[in-house]
């Protein structure tokens, strides 16, 4: 067996995926008694796809896209977010987070870039959950499968949401879905970036491309290839090992906190009810 | 049903045929509320009324139609005895129409089964307890349910010999083999299948069910009815696409993907006879050989 160079394993039928995800948003929002949804819009592919899907699922006036720029956020980010809002006619709100983030770090001299980036992500999360109450809408997640597997996100920050329509799609698959949905070309063409600091790109920070890592992840995770087989079939050994380590090391971000077990029924261990209990 | 008794040579050939060979089956592709039996009972009663209005002889609901699927610790909370008032109410409402619906059965000894019942003309004729409980990937049925111990067909007034299977049962060739040995005319499989695989023209799991239904319909020379649910539970998307396949392996009807629907399928039971004349696989099946071979394999694998 050869690793498939044509990316057949990453192929999706975007029409089918759209059908499922639009229904997913409508169903999971309305079954809890809500009619509306709130999410953070960055002007990147992931949040733009969520915007398109949510507008279709709930109607544009039932969807609030919140932009939350920090002082270093690029003009491109704001411009692309505005393009999405204008095209879809969704409701929008700008909540700059510079004042609160800077007020906190004024008393934390020497904080690293990583701490600043995580703080910004968590600040945005608190804004979204507050707007969730104000707008009476559920918070939609915008983390994709690649990020969730690699742990490339902030726990209780951008990883936090009520429901996530795109968490089972790799970045490359999201790109195909975005093109099908009509996400503007300038958004499809730009380098993916968390806009964490000036000039930051995901691929620059990760040290590999989404195309390469998605090809590896889909075989490893979805097709259950063993790492040794992947290396035999041409994947770079240090690359495979690095990705495996990232997946393992970040497992905690994908789970609720560990609870010390004392009784016969402990939350989420043997007190097992579905999230959609009684809906 | 057509009978298969040989005609004496001296008499003119008379085609034996039932008074009416047309069977109308209503595929009730619903979206049950998770754990809410009262809401689901009301939903069933609505569908029964609509199916009767459409002149259906049989209405088929999906697996666990009275409770929803991803129950986990709710299993004992939503369980029913087969003699419960709710099931009696459904049978009564459907009568004289036949009905298949899914429920969690609590049996003596506090065992719980993923079960489906068949009733007609106000009488409960059969309860099938799911034998193959998937416990892999997203499934965890063996954690909550005991496995059924039988694949047993039964005789119904309008349908002839009927086999009832639940979801994963259909993925095991042995279930189909036993149903063939049971001489079934109609194979009903109620399912709760979540969508997985989105790279093709339709959901991959839907494609597989279509393939299984058509294959068994043709190999057994029977009418196969598969009813799935729709809706979401904890992110699982139940894809619908309920279907009926005729004894030549052709699709007779297909319900829509993803949306609730009551699809009426008209089947000609006389097709069964015609198809078994064209391809008499069931006639030629060497059941005793199969049994002897299985006995031999049993000795080798389990008794040595």
Residue B69 contacts A where some CB pair is shorter than 8 Å: no
State how far the Cα of A183 lies from the Cα of A49, in Å rounded to an integer. 7
Average pLDDT value for residue range A127-134: 98
User: For residue B113, what are its two tokens?
Assistant: 């089964």
Q: Which of B280, B249, B271 is nearest to B21 (CA)?
A: B271
Closest partner CB to B200 (pick from A13, A31, A163): A13
Q: What is the pLDDT of residue B1?
A: 40
Q: What is the pLDDT of residue B3?
A: 42
Instruction: Check if the beta carbon of residue A75 is closer than 8 Å to that of residue A217.
Output: no
Interchain CB distance below 8 Å, B233 and A16:
no
State how far the Cα of B174 lies from the Cα of B182, in Å rounded to an integer. 12
Q: Which of A246, A186, A187 is nearest to A213 (CA)?
A: A246
Residue B198 contacts A where some CB pair is shorter than 8 Å: yes
Instruction: Check if the beta carbon of residue B56 is closer than 8 Å to that of residue B97.
Output: yes
Alpha helices in chain B (DSSP H): 37-53, 75-78, 85-94, 173-181, 204-220, 270-278, 281-284, 287-302
Residues of chain A numbered 161-180 and touching chain B (CB < 8 Å):
163
Interchain CB distance below 8 Å, B34 and A277:
yes
Q: What is the pLDDT of residue A8?
A: 75
Q: Which of B35, B140, B198 to mutate to test the interface with A (most CBs of A within 10 A)?
A: B198
Instruction: Check if the beta carbon of residue A227 is closer than 8 Å to that of residue A220.
Output: yes
pLDDT at A4 over 90: no
Q: What is the pLDDT of residue B73?
A: 96
> Is the entire prediction scored with pTM above 0.90?
yes
pLDDT at A157 over 70: yes
Question: For chain B, how long is the longest CA-to-CA vector?
Answer: 67
CA distance A221 to chain B (A): 12
Instruction: Check if the beta carbon of residue A66 is closer than 8 Å to that of residue A92.
Output: yes
Strands B111-120 and B123-129: antiparallel
Instruction: Check if the beta carbon of residue B70 is closer than 8 Å to that of residue B39.
Output: no
Residue B137 contacts A where some CB pair is shorter than 8 Å: no
User: For residue B283, what are its two tokens?
Assistant: 């006639």
Cβ neighbours of A20 in B, within 8 Å: 195, 198, 237, 258
Q: Which of A16, A264, A278 to mutate to test the interface with B (most CBs of B within 10 A)?
A: A16
Residue A267 contacts B where some CB pair is shorter than 8 Å: no
Residue A16 contacts B where some CB pair is shorter than 8 Å: yes
Q: What is the pLDDT of residue A197?
A: 81
Cβ neighbours of A19 in B, within 8 Å: 257-258
At A3, is the pLDDT very low, low, confident or very high (cuts 50, 70, 90)?
Answer: very low
State how far the Cα of B167 lies from the Cα of B179, in Å rounded to an integer. 15
Residue B71 contacts A where some CB pair is shorter than 8 Å: yes
Residue A224 contacts B where some CB pair is shorter than 8 Å: no
Average pLDDT value for residue range A93-102: 97
State how far the Cα of A192 lies from the Cα of A210, in Å rounded to an integer. 9
Cβ neighbours of B73 in A, within 8 Å: 271-273
Average pLDDT value for residue range A59-69: 98
Interchain CB distance below 8 Å, A17 and B73:
no
- Sorted by sequence, the CB contacts under 8 Å of residue A192 that are 6+ apart come out as A44, A45, A171, A201, A202, A203, A210
Q: Which of B24, B5, B6, B4 is nearest to B159 (CA)?
A: B24
CA distance B227 to chain A (A): 19
Cβ atoms within 10 Å, residue B283: 10
Interchain CB distance below 8 Å, A278 and B36:
yes
pLDDT tens for each residue of A24-54: 999 999 999 999 999 999 999 999 999 999 9
Is the backbone peptide bond immediately before A258 cis, with ω within 30 degrees of 0?
no
Q: How high is the mean pLDDT in each 10-residue block of chain B (304 residues)?
A: 44 54 95 97 98 98 98 97 97 98 96 98 98 96 98 95 98 97 97 96 96 97 98 97 97 97 95 93 94 97 90
Cβ neighbours of B33 in A, within 8 Å: 278-279
pLDDT tens for each residue of A99-127: 999 999 999 999 999 999 999 999 999 99
Interchain CB distance below 8 Å, A13 and B71:
no
Residue B303 contacts A where some CB pair is shorter than 8 Å: no
Interchain CB distance below 8 Å, A278 and B237:
no
Q: What is the pLDDT of residue B5?
A: 44
Helix, coil or strand: residue B291: helix
State how far the Cα of B162 lies from the Cα of A93, in Å rounded to an integer. 60
Q: What is the pLDDT of residue A195?
A: 81
Strands (E), chain B: 22-29, 58-60, 98-107, 111-120, 123-129, 154-156, 160-166, 186-190, 223-227, 230-233, 236-239, 243-245, 251-254, 261-268
CA distances from B95 to A27, A172, A199 (A): 33, 54, 71
Mutual orientation of helices B287-302 and B173-181 as an angle, nearest 10°? Answer: 140
Residue B46's φ and ψ, nearest 5 degrees, are -60, -45
Instruction: Check if the beta carbon of residue A266 is closer than 8 Å to that of residue B73.
Output: no
User: For residue A200, what are its two tokens?
Assistant: 């930051």
State how far the Cα of B304 lies from the Cα of A55, in Å rounded to an integer. 65
């Amino acid at each position: 067996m050869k690793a498939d160079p044509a990316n057949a394993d990453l192929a999706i039928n975007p029409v089918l995926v759209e059908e499922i995800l639009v229904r997913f948003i409508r169903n999971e929002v309305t079954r809890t008694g809500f009619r509306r949804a709130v999410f953070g819009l960055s002007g990147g592919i992931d949040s733009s796809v969520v915007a398109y899907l949510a507008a279709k699922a709930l109607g544009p006036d039932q969807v609030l896209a919140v932009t939350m720029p920090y002082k270093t956020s690029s003009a491109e980010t704001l411009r692309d977010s505005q393009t999405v809002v204008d095209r879809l006619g969704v409701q929008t709100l700008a909540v700059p987070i510079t004042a609160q983030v800077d007020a906190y770090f004024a008393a934390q001299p020497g904080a690293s870039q990583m701490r600043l980036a995580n703080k910004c992500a968590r600040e945005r999360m608190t804004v979204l959950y507050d707007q969730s109450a104000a707008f009476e809408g559920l918070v939609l997640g915008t983390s994709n499968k690649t990020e969730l597997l690699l742990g490339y996100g902030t726990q209780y920050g951008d990883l936090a949401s009520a429901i996530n329509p795109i968490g089972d799609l790799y970045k490359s698959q999201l790109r195909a879905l975005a093109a099908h949905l009509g996400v503007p070309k300038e958004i499809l063409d730009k380098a993916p970036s968390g806009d964490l600091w000036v000039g930051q790109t995901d691929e620059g920070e990760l040290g590999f491309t989404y195309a390469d890592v998605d090809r590896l992840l889909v075989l490893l995770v979805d097709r259950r290839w063993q790492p040794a087989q992947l290396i035999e079939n041409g994947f770079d050994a240090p690359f495979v090992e690095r990705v495996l380590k990232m997946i393992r090391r970040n497992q905690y971000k994908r789970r609720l906190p560990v609870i010390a077990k004392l009784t016969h029924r402990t939350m989420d261990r043997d007190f097992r009810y579905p999230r959609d209990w009684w809906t | 049903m057509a009978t298969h008794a040989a005609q004496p040579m001296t008499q003119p050939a008379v085609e034996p045929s039932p008074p009416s060979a047309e069977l109308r089956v209503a595929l009730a592709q619903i979206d049950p509320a998770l754990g809410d039996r009262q809401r689901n009972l009301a939903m069933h009663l609505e569908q029964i009324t609509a199916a009767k209005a459409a002149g259906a002889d049989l209405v088929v609901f999906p697996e666990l139609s009275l409770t929803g699927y991803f129950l986990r610790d709710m299993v004992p909370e939503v369980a029913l005895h087969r003699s419960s008032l709710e099931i009696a109410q459904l049978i009564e409402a459907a009568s004289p129409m036949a009905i298949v619906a899914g429920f969690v059965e609590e049996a003596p000894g506090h065992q719980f089964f993923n079960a489906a019942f068949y009733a007609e003309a106000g009488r409960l004729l059969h309860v099938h307890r799911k034998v193959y409980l998937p416990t892999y990937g997203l499934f965890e049925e063996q954690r909550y349910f005991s496995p059924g111990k039988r694949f047993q067909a039964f005789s119904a007034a309008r349908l002839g010999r009927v086999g009832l299977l639940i979801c994963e049962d259909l993925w095991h060739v042995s279930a189909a083999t036993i149903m063939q040995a049971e001489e079934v005319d109609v194979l009903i499989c109620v399912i709760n299948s979540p969508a997985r695989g989105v790279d093709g023209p339709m959901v991959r799991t839907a494609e597989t069910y279509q393939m299984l239904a058509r294959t068994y319909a043709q190999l057994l020379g029977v009418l196969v009815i598969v009813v799935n649910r729709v809706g979401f539970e904890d992110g699982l998307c139940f894809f619908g696409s309920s279907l009926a396949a005729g004894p030549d392996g052709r699709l007779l009807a297909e319900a829509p993907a993803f949306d609730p629907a009551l699809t009426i399928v008209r089947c000609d039971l006389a097709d069964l006879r015609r198809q078994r004349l064209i391809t008499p696989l069931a006639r030629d099946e060497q059941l005793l050989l199969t049994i002897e071979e299985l006995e031999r394999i049993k000795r080798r694998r389990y008794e040595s």
